[in-house]
Amino acid sequence: MGIMGTFLLLAAEANAVGSEMAEGAAEGGFGLNIDIFETNLINLAILIGILFYFGRKVLSNILNERQSNIATAIQEAEGRLKEAQTALSQAQEQLTQAQAEAQRIRKAAEENAQAAKAATLARATQDVERLRQTAVADLNTERERALADLRQRVATLALQKVETQLRAGIADDVQQTIIERSIAQVGGR
């Protein structure tokens, strides 16, 4: 039962007692002043006294319970504050680690980019050198082929010229030899 229920119960009892006293006084019994104003003041004084006596304990219990609840809430809040501070320090540590990891990744990416750039330049230089060597080899091969073709033409032309000269020379020699043989045969026989 709460304070309000106790208060209503006491008020109802005070009214019942007051009405019984009023009836007793009307019958000539115990005589009390049944003036409504004074009766209400007495009832009110009794009620305030009862409330003060019992209410002080109830109010004290309520206040103690409220104080205990507030102390518990403060302790819980302090516990949550400590947990939040721990979580904050962990988050800050993780942030620091993440920043360090990001810096490491960025540095590794830059190093990889430089290495890839150097490898690409080296490969391009090798490709250019290979193409140059291939072009030189092709040029040498073409020159050798042209020279071989030129040699063959020169040799063919030389052979043709020699052959032409031999034919012309053999024909004169052969004629000379035939003439000399013929003379020798005619004159020596």
pLDDT of residue 28: 47
Sorting pLDDT into bands at 50, 70 and 90, what band is 12? low
pLDDT of residue 3: 57
CB 57 within 8 A of CB 28: no
CA separation, residue 153 to residues 126, 150, 160 (Å) = 39, 5, 10
Alpha helix (H) residue ranges in the chain: 3-26, 36-188
Tens of pLDDT, residues 52-70: 777 777 778 888 898 999 9
pLDDT of residue 73: 93
SS3 1: coil
Distance in angstroms (rounded) separating the CA atoms of residues 5 and 58 = 13
In total, the chain counts a number of residues equal to 189
Tens of pLDDT, residues 94-129: 999 999 999 999 999 999 999 999 999 999 899 889
**CB burial readout 118-132, b (16+ within 10 A) else e:** eeeeeeeeeeeeeee
Can you give the pTM of this predicted structure?
A: 0.37
CA 176 to chain centre: 109
Show me where the domains of the chain are located: 3-97
Angle at 166 between CA 165 and CA 172, to 5 degrees: 95
CA 26 to chain centre: 95
Tens of pLDDT, residues 147-180: 888 888 887 887 787 677 666 666 666 667 777 8
